[in-house]
């Protein structure tokens, strides 16, 4: 797979412990050189990651290295701390002869300018005469300025130990135990039929299907067709003098770093924020204020108009974890006498099935569409409130059995529970 310019990928992971979601957005922002920009966000859990990678390769005869030139920035939103880190490279041995093996190599640095902390890790390649204990070895140190605070050693796929320089004590720092492996989260993607044209799974579906069937000739043909279409689009842009503009990322002209266009580094506010969701690659946050405006809109009486055509129909879309908005459609006929549409009225969507719908019909269609979108937002808020209530009731049950004071014995917790219950009753009343 050779990424296509403008190719995108998005997915998310659900965290049952915190009832939150981590979203991943990526886009191929350059083809020469090949650069992939990415953004990871979970505002509720208080972190986001942004960065870009330039793919490079080196061939050594019987071995090959895939270099990931770039860096990522991990931001802790509640602490306003940025940790910049680099990535190791992948090294493959035994291409022409011998057993083919894959390893990680190179040095990785993690730096935080705010607290002056730095960590250096070296991923060591297996030496020629090394045994099994020399596979996947790492070593490193944690420093604060010139002072060494601790050292790390072990195997990244097994046990990693940390030794404090002050006390000299050694402790287990990390181990991928069976429990850790079982807690691995499931990746959720948008259904193939709802993906955009240049999303990875949809774009490469025919190549993937051919590879799965073992048909390498067909896979090569499908890959060539995609690359030829990319060359044709590049020629068209060159002839029309239209430069390429990425959809989801932009390049900072000063730092020359790629940034997500819709990034939000504000800390999560449980009194204002309800849920974070993604729509067509754009990350948004549903807030209490927006829900209040929608409920106010639903509660206010609107003008009634007679419609001469058949009732408009709304198509209900399936509820997907990707956060897609529901599409709406309307149909109607045109009255016998209909004035010409003004420029402002022609900006809306035309009603399929009619030749030139009148302004009154179009106004009613827009009102129904806004009403439908408001109901969808309230449904999302209702589902989020259900999850909050379930989590709080579970905590209440655990607290009643535990000898220590429970979560809902504080006045603030009871107040929040009352607020959630009141919102739930109000929304149920509106939706009746």
User: Cβ(42)–Cβ(276) under 8 Å?
Assistant: yes
Give residues with Cβ within 8 angstroms of 362, minimum separation 6: 341, 345, 348, 351
Whole-number pLDDT of residue 139: 96
Give residues with Cβ within 8 angstroms of 334, minimum separation 6: 309, 354, 355, 356, 357, 358, 361
Three-state secondary structure readout of 180-241: HHHCCCCEECCCHHHCCCCEHHHHCHHHHHHHHCCCHHHHHHHHHHHHHHHHHHHHHHHHHC
Q: Among 364, 347, 261, 263, which residue's Cα sits nearest to residue 310?
A: 364
Whole-number pLDDT of residue 114: 92
Residue 353 has pLDDT above 50, yes or no: no
Whole-number pLDDT of residue 49: 97
**pLDDT over 70 percentage in the chain:** 70
Radius of gyration of the chain (CA): 28
Measure the CA–CA gap between 173 and 179, rounded to whole angstroms: 16
Whole-number pLDDT of residue 285: 94
Tokens of 178: 């069976």
Question: 174: which strand partners?
Answer: 160
Q: How confident is the model at residue 391 (pLDDT cuts 50, 70, 90)?
A: confident
Measure the CA–CA gap between 28 and 119, rounded to whole angstroms: 30
User: Cβ(266)–Cβ(272) under 8 Å?
Assistant: no
Residue 345 has pLDDT above 80, yes or no: no
Whole-number pLDDT of residue 133: 81
Whole-number pLDDT of residue 347: 42
Question: 108: which strand partners?
Answer: 121
Residue 309 has pLDDT above 50, yes or no: no
Q: What is the dihedral of CA 28, 184, 70, 160, to 10 degrees?
A: -170
The pTM for the full model equals: 0.67
**Between residues 33 and 339, the one the model is more confident about:** 33
Residue 303 has pLDDT above 60, yes or no: no
Model confidence over 117-160: pLDDT tens digits?
A: 999 999 999 887 777 788 999 999 999 989 999 999 999 999 99
Whole-number pLDDT of residue 390: 73
Which domains, from first to last, does the chain contain? 8-178+192-258 (2.40.160.120), 273-334+341-431 (no CATH)
Q: How confident is the model at residue 305 (pLDDT cuts 50, 70, 90)?
A: very low
Model confidence over 54-98: pLDDT tens digits?
A: 989 999 888 999 999 999 999 999 999 999 999 999 999 998 888
Q: For 402-431, what is the mean pLDDT?
A: 59
Measure the CA–CA gap between 330 and 312, rounded to whole angstroms: 5
DSSP 58-111: EE-SSEEEEEEEEEEEEEETTTTEEEEEE--EEEEE-SSSS--EEEEEEEEEEE
Whole-number pLDDT of residue 416: 65
Residue 99 has pLDDT above 50, yes or no: yes
Model confidence over 219-274: pLDDT tens digits?
A: 999 999 999 999 999 999 999 989 899 999 999 999 999 999 999 999 999 999 99
Residue 27 has pLDDT above 60, yes or no: yes
User: Cβ(51)–Cβ(249) under 8 Å?
Assistant: no
Q: Is 158 helix (H, G, I), strand (E, B) or coil?
A: coil
Q: For 347-371, what is the mean pLDDT?
A: 56
Whole-number pLDDT of residue 364: 65
């Amino acid at each position: 797979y050779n990424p296509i310019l403008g190719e995108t990928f998005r997915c998310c992971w659900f965290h049952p412990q915190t009832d939150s979601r981590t979203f991943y957005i990526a886009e191929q922002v350059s083809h020469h050189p090949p650069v992939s920009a990415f953004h990871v966000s979970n505002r509720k859990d208080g972190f986001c990651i942004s960065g870009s990678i330039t793919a490079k390769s080196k061939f050594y005869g019987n071995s090959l290295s895939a270099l990931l030139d770039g860096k990522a920035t991990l931001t802790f939103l509640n602490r306003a701390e940025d940790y910049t880190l680099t990535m190791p490279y992948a090294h493959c041995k035994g291409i022409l002869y011998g057993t083919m093996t894959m390893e990680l190599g190179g040095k990785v640095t993690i730096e935080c300018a705010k607290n002056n902390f730095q960590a250096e890790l070296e991923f060591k390649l297996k030496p020629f005469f090394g045994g099994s204990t020399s596979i996947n070895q790492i070593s490193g140190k944690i420093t604060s300025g010139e002072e060494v605070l601790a050292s790390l050693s072990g195997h990244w796929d097994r046990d990693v130990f940390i030794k404090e320089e002050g006390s000299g004590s050694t402790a287990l720092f990390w181990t991928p135990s069976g429990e850790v492996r079982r807690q691995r989260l499931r990746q959720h993607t948008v259904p193939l039929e709802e993906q955009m044209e240049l999303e990875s799974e949809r774009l490469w579906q025919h190549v993937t299907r051919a590879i799965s069937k073992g048909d390498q000739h067909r896979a090569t043909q499908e890959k060539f067709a995609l690359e030829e279409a990319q060359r044709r689009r590049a020629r068209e842009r060159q002839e029309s003098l239209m430069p390429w503009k990425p959809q989801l990322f932009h390049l900072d002209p000063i730092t020359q770093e790629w940034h997500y266009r819709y990034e939000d580094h504000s800390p999560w506010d449980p009194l204002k924020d309800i849920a974070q969701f993604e729509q067509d690659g754009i990350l948004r946050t549903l807030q209490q204020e927006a829900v209040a405006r929608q409920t106010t809109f639903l509660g206010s009486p609107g003008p009634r108009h007679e419609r001469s055509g058949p009732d408009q129909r709304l198509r209900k879309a399936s509820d997907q974890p990707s956060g897609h908005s529901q599409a709406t459609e309307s149909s109607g006929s045109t009255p016998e006498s209909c004035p010409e549409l003004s420029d402002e009225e022609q900006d809306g969507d035309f009603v399929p099935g009619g030749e030139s719908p009148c302004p009154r019909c179009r106004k009613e269609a827009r009102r129904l569409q806004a009403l439908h979108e408001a109901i969808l937002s309230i449904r999302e808020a209702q589902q989020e409130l259900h999850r909050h209530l379930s989590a709080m009731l579970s905590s209440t049950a655990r607290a009643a059995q535990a000898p220590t004071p429970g979560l809902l014995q504080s006045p603030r917790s009871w107040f929040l529970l009352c607020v959630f219950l009141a919102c739930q009753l109000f929304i149920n009343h509106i939706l009746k």
